[in-house]
Amino acid sequence: MGTKKRSSPTETTELLLPERQVDTRLNLPPLYTVYLLNDDYTPMDFVVEVLMRYFLMDHAVATQVMLQIHQKGRANCGLYTREIAETKVVQVNEYARRSQYPLLCGMIESGAE
Ligand code: TYC
C-alpha cells in the first residue's frame, strides 16, 4: 500500500524529542483488509457485481479481482478502518446469503495477514 509510516507517538522515538518540542504525528487507527474467498458455486458475474457494488471497482478491475480469487483462492478487496470493514463484511455476506450463494467475505487487521 502507501509509504506513509504508521508510527505512533508512544514509540521510543518520543524519548528523543527535545524538551518543549511538540510531537505533531497523528495517532492513526488500525486498518483492516477485507477479502473474498473462492468457492465452487457462486457465479463469476455475481462476484463481479459484488466487487462493483460494495468495493466501488469498475467492471474491468472487478473482473480481474474476481479471476484472482477464482485462481488463487482469495483476494484483498479493500483497506478500511474497523467499522467500515465490519459493515462491508456484513453487507456482502448478507447479500450473498439472500441470493443463496455461499460467497464468503472476511476481514483481518492489516499486517496480520
Ligand atoms: N469459482 C467460482 C466459479 O467458478 C467463481 C468465484 C470467484 C466464486 C470468486 C467466488 O469469491 C469468488 N463459478
Nearest of 33, 21, 28, 4 to residue 105 by alpha carbon: 33
* Whole-number Å distance between alpha carbons of 48 and 63: 6
34 DSSP assignment: E
Structural domains for the chain: 29-109 (3.30.1390.10)
Q: What is the pTM for the complete model shown?
A: 0.84
Among 66, 71, 74, 105, residue to substitute to test ligand 1 (most atoms within 8 Å of Cβ):
66
Question: What pLDDT sits at residue 15?
Answer: 57
Output the ligand 1 site: residues, CB below 6 A: 36-40, 42-44, 47, 66, 69-70, 103
* Whole-number Å distance between alpha carbons of 5 and 66: 30
Tens-digit pLDDT string for the chain (113 aa): 444 556 555 544 555 667 788 888 888 999 999 999 999 999 999 999 999 999 999 999 999 999 999 999 999 999 999 999 999 999 999 999 999 999 999 999 999 88
CA of 104 to the centre of ligand 1 (A): 10
Question: What pLDDT sits at residue 23?
Answer: 81
